[in-house]
């Protein structure tokens, strides 16, 4: 069975590119273009990994990550936070921190390496 990945980014081009890359590498991908409903989608589809933008309309990706990491049912779900901001590394030091960060623009090899590492952990 293929590993399931949830991608959350308000930029549809980003979700399409990530989805294309990951699908072509054998992953089952679900995408959302808003932060609304992320937790519900996780409960419904039980992804093996979440890749999420740090800045989503109406909600901060770090807040969603904190909710995921503080919930007993999802605390072990790996989360990769994405951002085009230079201070993305600071997200790793917060309460309820993601497992990793991905700087935008991203390289396909870097994306795949981070995904493979998190799914192997």
What CATH code is carried by the domain that includes residue 8?
Answer: 3.40.50.2300
Grouped pLDDT means (10 residues each) for the chain, 121 residues: 94 96 98 91 96 90 92 96 76 79 92 97 75
Short-list 84, 90, 75, CA closest to 42: 75
What pLDDT sits at residue 19?
98
Tell whether the torsion through CA atoms of 53, 4, 36 and 94 is positive or negative. Answer: negative
Please give the angle made by the CA atoms of 81, 33 and 82, to the nearest 5 degrees: 15
Number of Cβ atoms within 10 Å of the Cβ of 35: 21
Q: Which domain holds residue 55?
A: 4-120
What pLDDT sits at residue 46?
97
Tell me how far apart the alpha carbons of residues 23 and 11 are, in angstroms, rounded to a whole number.
18
What pLDDT sits at residue 86?
65
What pLDDT sits at residue 12?
95
Domain count, the chain: 1
């Amino acid at each position: 069975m293929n590993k399931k990945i949830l991608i959350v980014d308000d930029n549809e081009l980003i979700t399409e590119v990530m989805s294309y890359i990951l699908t072509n590498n054998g992953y089952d991908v679900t995408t959302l273009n808003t932060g609304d409903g992320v937790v519900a989608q996780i409960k419904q589809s039980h992804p093996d990994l979440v890749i999420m933008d740090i800045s989503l309309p109406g909600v901060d990706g770090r807040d969603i990550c904190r909710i995921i990491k503080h919930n007993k049912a999802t605390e072990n779900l790996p989360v990769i936070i994405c951002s085009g901001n230079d201070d993305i590394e600071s997200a790793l030091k917060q309460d309820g921190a993601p497992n990793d960060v991905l700087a935008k623009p991203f390289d396909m090899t870097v994306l795949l390496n981070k995904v493979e590492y998190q799914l192997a952990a």
